[in-house]
Structure 1
Amino acid sequence: MLPIQNFKDFINHNSLFAQSNKILLAVSGGKDSVLMVHFFKLAGFDFGIAHCNFNLRADESQRDENFVRMLANSLEVPFYVTHFKTKSYAAIHKISTQMAARDLRYNWFEEIRQSENYDFIALAQHQDDAMETILLNLTRGTGIAGLHGILPKRDKLIRPLLFLSREQINELIVKNDIDFVEDSSNLSVDYARNKIRLKVIPHLKEINPNLEQTFEQNIQRFSETELVLQNVVSELRGHLITEKQNNLYLEVAKVKTLKPQRLLMFELLRPYGFSELVVIELLQALDKQSGTSFYSNSHRITIDRKNLILSPVVTENQQLAFIHINDQTVNILQHKLSMSFTDEPYFERGSERAFVDADKLIFPLVLRTWQSGDKFIPLGMKFFKKLSDFFIDNKIPLVEKGSVPILINGNGEVIWLGGMRQDERYKVTPSTKKVAIFSLK
């Protein structure tokens, strides 16, 4: 028998959903999701089953789809299926296959939830998944939010199996003679998560056999710590930030008194898309010349004499594009900018290409048109020059200066006036280890 009462207790304790709610189950056909289906059936909840065929494992993918379809039919519950061209999507969006599959399935689940009037989407992640997520986040670098791993509930996503470990799920599958299909890719160490699951966690369990329980307790502590931090940041936001004419103002003097400064500023600016690296650059520049700007994907923050001014980055008349580290080409106006890298420290003279010290780049870069107040240090010179003066000196008509693409670093500094002049600060030097090459057509 399945521990139905434990299942219901976990749902109620975490307020995942009510008995009257209609739940869409994401089912791959593996042990975890199939067990979740049986829990929902025995508990008497109203649910349907959704299955994604990513077309990544040939006959295996079709086998999984057929199995889940038969499972839904045998239980007489609604069944939804879709097919994705996952590799094509990954290539078009320049992301990994795993990330492509994640984006595709979550977007589709939400479409089905809305169109078929489901209240929540249930995912079959368990305690080991949460533990793996924390270790993966720590390996890649994370804030406090990454330390609590997978939460039982977030928006319309619920995870009702987080009260079980992988070992407990395996035992329940065997004891209750539940059929499932095995995904062969789970055994591949080509994926980072699988490496942690198959190679790292077994060694950690030699040190602590109760690793799952320890991480469950840690997750609770981290979640509570994050809640405390959110409360502090919420109070700070009311104390530090004022709004004037659609712009937000933070007093520089008050920012300097924050302790710990980097953590609190990152949390204050995180809702506006600023990365931790950009926040560090911003704090280091507080005492420098006014007018320096820093960018996220959606906002700009500019250092004024007494305030940091936060504003949306796109204005009605401004053309803008963002360049991420894996991008190869970006379009703006009638121009196409391409980016490549080389380990050979060399450069060529010419206006159509810029050769930049790659270690000085802060992504995402911004490719935009001219703004009043823009300035740079022209290659070969020692002092700043306003772009407006540079345009005048080079006899660029007023009507044309708005069509010159300008490459901006993540810290707000001009890297290159596309097709015209590079900034001295980003030139290739004998100490350069990696060169970024920007070409404009």
Structure 2
Amino acid sequence: MLTKLRNHLNENMPFLKGKKLLLAVSGGVDSIILTHLFKVLNYDITVAHCNFNLRGEESDGDEEFIRQYAEKNEVKIFVTHFDTVSFANDNKVSIQVGARQLRYAWFYELLEKNHFDYLLTGHHLDDNIETFLINFIRGTGIDGLTGIPEQNDKIIRPLLPFSREEIVAYAKANTINWREDSSNASDKYLRNKLRHDVIPVLRSLNPSLSISFQDTLNHIQQAKSMVDDASVLVYKQVVTEGEDKKSFDINKLKKLPNYRAYLYQWLQPFGFTAWDDIYALVTAQSGKQVLTNGYRLLKDRETLLLEPKKNQERNIYKITAKEEEINSPVKLKFQNVTQFSKEIVKKHIHINNQLIKFPLFVRKWQEGDYFYPLGMNGQRKKLSKFFKDEKMSLSEKEDTWLLCSEDKIIWIIGRRADDRFKVTDNTTQILKIEVI
């Protein structure tokens, strides 16, 4: 195994040589053998052990075992203690998830504070098989079938090509002791149930399961690479990116042989899971949307708009007569002038200062709002109808602010002024309001 690992590192992970490495060590056979092998191969290693205080004396026994191992083998060590149960309860997560969050937060803290280059874990081939089956059982896309990555940012998993059987055999052959976690014997968790009941049956059906699985995983990873390449090429043809949104051209999308697969590939990273609803958006009425915690996908005529979910602001911002400029929620400049143009311009307006009453207000539009569009001879119009005539998307409507005097709209900011405040030949006080 030592020779096999040396060859694996030289061929696939030569960048580890000469680096400062932190090893996550629980005391189990995989992490102990990981530490032993990297010590024998003369890598610069330090071990880190988490005591989660979940198994009483057994947890303390693991910690003492690691401390003695590190002292005997002259390896530097970090140890920390967690109140895992309290953390999980406070954050409303499972014990397993809580323990994972705690340990990786600590590992990254150690990496940063002590200038380690990489974190190494003892994940092996059997862990990969279990993860594959868990994702398969729960339902997943191709990403969930590609297995545990050998490298994820600064996390490296050098033992993934090795089965637990190989690791245990090496430990016994070299008289290396390790600790067994009693919780691994329980079938309370899905991973353990697969380990004890399912995988042995698979091995009885195929004694070469490890080799077959690794070959299959390689094929899936190659297919995933092809999917990623195709996804990038098609994405450039279909999607237009704005500052904070992405626009998917529905007509181009429909011409793809399997547009659903592309939508899944593009949208899955944003937390979407309601795929039937998303696919239905393609043919849905304009205005329909699907939401995640942070994003929404909106049908807007012939496009799908992906953008961060917006807070529906109900705040009202007051502007006094003394203010010459405001910066929130929109940037406006107020200036008394003596000359003006009758041309309708979206970015600024001229109004009769004597017809407004301070303080002015800036607010979002509401159902039932109406105004008298400048240039329409005093005809009243609902904002909802104005927005429709302007072919504004839901997103654009939500971004629209109104400038008001009392309960009257002076300006749909950046779009249309109200006729009631217009400047005439008899106006003596002209106020110019400009979007900066």
TM-score, L = length of structure 2: 0.70
Counterpart-to-counterpart distance in 2, 1:62 and 1:270: 41
Counterpart of 2:44 in structure 1 is 46
Q: CA RMSD in A?
A: 2.1
| Deviation at residue 315 of structure 1 after TM alignment | 4.8
SS of the residue corresponding to residue 96 of structure 2 reads helix
Greater shift, 59-68 or 252-261, is seen at 252-261
Q: Is 1:120 the counterpart of 2:126 in the alignment?
A: no
Superposition map of 1:422-437 within 5 A: none
Q: Is 1:289 the counterpart of 2:285 in the alignment?
A: yes
| Deviation at residue 238 of structure 1 after TM alignment | 1.3
Counterpart of 2:299 in structure 1 is 303
Contact 2:281/2:289 (<8 A) preserved: no
Counterpart-to-counterpart distance in 1, 2:265 and 2:197: 34
Contact 2:51/2:82 (<8 A) preserved: yes
Counterpart-to-counterpart distance in 2, 1:263 and 1:195: 32
When residues 316 and 15 of structure 1 are mapped into structure 2, their CA distance, relative to the original with a 3 A threshold, is farther
Counterpart of 1:186 in structure 2 is 184
Moved over 6 A (4+): none
Counterpart-to-counterpart distance in 1, 2:17 and 2:56: 39
Q: Which ranges of structure 2 fall in alignment gaps of 5 or more residues?
A: 316-362, 370-436
| Deviation at residue 261 of structure 1 after TM alignment | 2.3
Counterpart of 2:428 in structure 1 is none
When residues 25 and 316 of structure 1 are mapped into structure 2, their CA distance, relative to the original with a 3 A threshold, is farther
| Deviation at residue 91 of structure 1 after TM alignment | 1.5
SS of the residue corresponding to residue 51 of structure 1 reads strand
Counterpart of 2:25 in structure 1 is 27
State the one-letter code of the partner of 1:34: I
Q: Is 1:61 the counterpart of 2:40 in the alignment?
A: no
Q: Which ranges of structure 1 fall in alignment gaps of 5 or more residues?
A: 320-369, 373-386, 391-441
| Deviation at residue 21 of structure 1 after TM alignment | 1.0
Counterpart-to-counterpart distance in 2, 1:81 and 1:317: 47
Contact 1:55/1:61 (<8 A) preserved: yes
Counterpart-to-counterpart distance in 2, 1:288 and 1:129: 43
TM-score, L = length of structure 1: 0.70
Contact 1:262/1:280 (<8 A) preserved: no
SS of the residue corresponding to residue 78 of structure 2 reads strand
Counterpart of 2:225 in structure 1 is 227
| Deviation at residue 244 of structure 1 after TM alignment | 3.2
| Deviation at residue 245 of structure 1 after TM alignment | 4.5
SS of the residue corresponding to residue 388 of structure 1 reads coil
| Deviation at residue 93 of structure 1 after TM alignment | 2.0
When residues 140 and 157 of structure 1 are mapped into structure 2, their CA distance, relative to the original with a 3 A threshold, is same
Aligned length: 322
State the one-letter code of the partner of 2:90: I
When residues 272 and 212 of structure 1 are mapped into structure 2, their CA distance, relative to the original with a 3 A threshold, is same
Deviations 1:46-85 (A, max 9, x none): 0100001111000000000111111112222221111111
Counterpart-to-counterpart distance in 2, 1:77 and 1:113: 17
Q: Is 1:36 the counterpart of 2:15 in the alignment?
A: no
Contact 2:38/2:45 (<8 A) preserved: yes
Counterpart of 1:79 in structure 2 is 77
State the one-letter code of the partner of 1:180: W
When residues 61 and 287 of structure 1 are mapped into structure 2, their CA distance, relative to the original with a 3 A threshold, is same
State the one-letter code of the partner of 2:167: I
When residues 258 and 88 of structure 1 are mapped into structure 2, their CA distance, relative to the original with a 3 A threshold, is farther
| % identical aligned pairs | 38
State the one-letter code of the partner of 1:255: L
State the one-letter code of the partner of 1:9: N
Deviations 1:216-258 (A, max 9, x none): 1111111111111111111122111112343211111122223
For the pair shown, the structure with the greater C-alpha radius of gyration is 2
Deviations 1:267-312 (A, max 9, x none): 111232222x2x3202213222211121122211210111111111
State the one-letter code of the partner of 1:246: D
Counterpart of 1:148 in structure 2 is 146
Deviations 1:410-431 (A, max 9, x none): xxxxxxxxxxxxxxxxxxxxxx
Contact 1:16/1:152 (<8 A) preserved: no
Counterpart of 2:162 in structure 1 is 164
Q: Is 1:5 the counterpart of 2:16 in the alignment?
A: no
